[in-house]
Amino acid sequence: MIRDITIGQFFPGDSVIHRLDPRVKIIATLLFIIELFIVDNFLGFAIAALCLGVVINVSKVPLGYIVRGLKPIIIILLFTFTLNMFMIDGHVIWKWGFLELTEEGLRTAVFMAVRLILLIIGSSMLTLCTRPLSLTDGIERLLSPFKKIGVPAHEIAMMMTIALRFIPTLLEETDKIMKAQQARGADFETGNLIHRAKSLIPILVPLFVSAFRIAQDLAMAMEARCYRGGENRTRMNEMKLKKRDYTALVLLTMFLAVIITESKLF
Amino acid sequence: MSIRVENLIHIYDKGMPTEQLALDNISFAADDGRMVGIIGHTGSGKSTLLQHLNGLLRPDSGKIIIGDTDITQPGVSMVEIRKKIGLVFQYPEYQLFEETVAKDVAFGPKNLGLSREEIDERVREAIELVGLDYEEMKDRSPFELSGGQKRRVAIAGVVAMRPEVLILDEPTAGLDPKAHKDVLNMVEEVHKRTGNITILVSHNMADIARLCDKIIVIDSGKLITSGTPYEVFSKKEELRAVGLELPPVTRFTETLRERGIDLAATILDTDTAAEQIAAYLKGKAK
């Protein structure tokens, strides 16, 4: 169950997408998200989906693996879909009691669902193809101009690195604790909502205890190695834009131009 | 009650690029009153095997027959399996969560759907059985106990379910020498008092040699060898090949033997070793 969550996971690979500078990938993802909100017709989505498809294809991440990442958001998707379907006024095509299905509603529902799906897939491509460490390095570099106005870029990046680093550890810990409690006869799958919520206590309490223990150990280890924050720290791998990064930026600009003109034209 | 494992195979991530054969055709059996030791390197498949015995993992093929039920068959109730088999994981103190020791130990029996009186009785019995004082312990928070005490409470939580097979995965890992000895003696005591099957996983060859009636050696998911401690530890070369050592005493007497000192082969306890060496020295003095 826990293993199915692919959002935020890294898929090891050696494609061009994997090797791009993390800054370029972050900017590309941000632009892609913005574009999804500029787009106001299905043609635009088709173009965006096509480009995303090309990226996925080049990255060699199996499509099935990406689609599995949509599983946890299916409920949100269905929820917004149903709401949109019935809540928007317009030309009524089907009626049942107080529920009115309108043409506009249906259109918006499909529209929003497509937008959400593209949004999730697009942003998960960033984490699937970028090592968590280079991702946070990229964020740190992108944020560093804001240091002047007091944004603690290094600290933010460090916190993200730690958070990402400990996702698998905590998942493993959860898995262990769940198994241990199951061995004591705990049942997480049956019963009503309240019963199920209660059955989480035997997992959450030990998990929190573990999290605090891990955090304390890590803090101690960092202090023992004289960690003092971002001031004057150098890095082993300096980030440098290469030819492929410039190519990617050019392609990105072209994509942006196409989307904007498309939404202006139609 | 007996336990029989037949041709167990388990594959992790089947069909994925990370596919891995974790258990490769494992078979063994044990009868009532026996203590079985499982030894093998980290990542050899020991933990995977234990989780199968408890129904936490399902095998890709093979059978696990406990008493006369094959627990790998669909439709076997998990509660039934867990009534029969108690599994104590590594570092079991990390699963403690209740406000008091008594409540935490009662978690397992409660899940079995027992009556209140029955639960109280079992909790008291289990806490005493692991060598703690019930009256003193019952209202304390499990989080304020010492490492060794926490471990005992966690083990009591499984013992209270009165399993017919008790499995312990490295019950002494990370304990200081005294707590190590205490917990191990406690395991022996529980085993003797209940007269059930105990399966013990450990990296400590001396413990295994001392306590177990039967030893199973696993490496890369395969059963390398099995038998009595004497049989297993006389296969020195085979054990070395999978990165396992002899118990320290045996290592010592074997080295003496190699140097031409006439002792019995594969001595597994210090008393026998002392006797043998004394006899040798006396013989030499004559």
CB within 8 Å: B89 and A180: yes
The tens digit of pLDDT for each residue in A183-202 reads 888 877 777 778 888 888 89
B7, B59 in Cβ contact below 8 A?
no
DSSP-derived 3-state class of residue B25:
strand
User: What average pLDDT is seen over chain A?
Assistant: 85
The shortest CB-CB distance from A179 to any of B56, B86, B96 is to B56
Angle between helices A42-59 and A22-38 (to 10 degrees): 160
Top pLDDT among A91 and A38 is at A38
CB within 8 Å: A186 and B111: yes
CB within 8 Å: B89 and A183: yes
Name every residue whose Cβ is closer than 8 Å to that of residue B175 and which is 6 or more positions away in sequence: B147, B148, B151, B183
Task: State both tokens at B213.
Answer: 């009636």
Q: What is the largest CA-CA distance in chain B?
A: 71
pTM above 0.80, yes or no: no
For chains A and B, count residue pairs whose Cβ atoms are closer than 8 Å. Answer: 56
Per-residue pLDDT for A146 more than 60?
yes
B136, B128 in Cβ contact below 8 A?
no
CB burial class (10 A; 0-12, 13-18, 19+) of residue B183? buried
pLDDT of residue A3: 53
Please name the residue of chain A whose CA is at the shortest distance from the CA of residue B169: A180
Per-residue pLDDT for A7 more than 60?
no
Q: Does A233 touch chain B (CB under 8 A)?
A: no
| Range A143-160 average pLDDT | 85
Q: Does A144 touch chain B (CB under 8 A)?
A: no
| Range A122-130 average pLDDT | 88
Q: A59-62: long-range contacts at Cβ-Cβ below 8 A with a sequence spacing of 24 or more?
A: A59/A13, A59/A15, A59/A17, A59/A18, A59/A125, A59/A128, A59/A129, A60/A13, A60/A15, A61/A11, A61/A13, A61/A125, A61/A128, A61/A129
The least confident of A74-83, A243-252, B180-189 is: A74-83
Task: State both tokens at A81.
Answer: 């879909």
B69, B215 in Cβ contact below 8 A?
no
Q: Does A209 touch chain B (CB under 8 A)?
A: yes
Domain extent listing, chain A: 1-130+240-266, 152-233
Q: What is the largest CA-CA distance in chain A?
A: 69
pLDDT of residue A1: 42
DSSP 3-state helix, strand, coil percentages of chain B (rounded to 5)?
A: 45, 20, 35
Q: Does A176 touch chain B (CB under 8 A)?
A: yes
pLDDT of residue A171: 87
The shortest CB-CB distance from B79 to any of A181, A185, A201 is to A185
In percent, the amount of chain A with pLDDT more than 70 equals 97
The shortest CB-CB distance from A185 to any of B88, B95, B111 is to B111
Top pLDDT among B60 and A266 is at B60
Please, what CATH class does the domain formed by B2-243 belong to?
alpha beta
CB within 8 Å: B95 and A206: yes
- If we measure between CA atoms, which residue out of B137, B182, B189, B136 comes closest to residue B159? B189
pLDDT of residue B158: 92
Q: Where in chain B is the domain with CATH 3.40.50.300?
A: 2-243
Task: State both tokens at B220.
Answer: 């890369």
CB within 8 Å: B82 and A183: yes
A137, A235 in Cβ contact below 8 A?
yes
A136, A161 in Cβ contact below 8 A?
yes
DSSP-derived 3-state class of residue B29:
strand
CA atoms of B212 and B226, how far apart (whole Å): 12
Per-residue pLDDT for A88 more than 80?
no
CB within 8 Å: A179 and B79: no
Q: Does A182 touch chain B (CB under 8 A)?
A: yes
DSSP-derived 3-state class of residue B121:
helix
- Angle subtended at Cα B89 by Cα B68 and Cα B195, rounded to the nearest 5 degrees: 45
Below-70 pLDDT ranges, chain B: 15, 17, 286
Cα atoms in the Cβ-side hemisphere of radius 13 Å centred on A264: 6
Q: Does A200 touch chain B (CB under 8 A)?
A: no
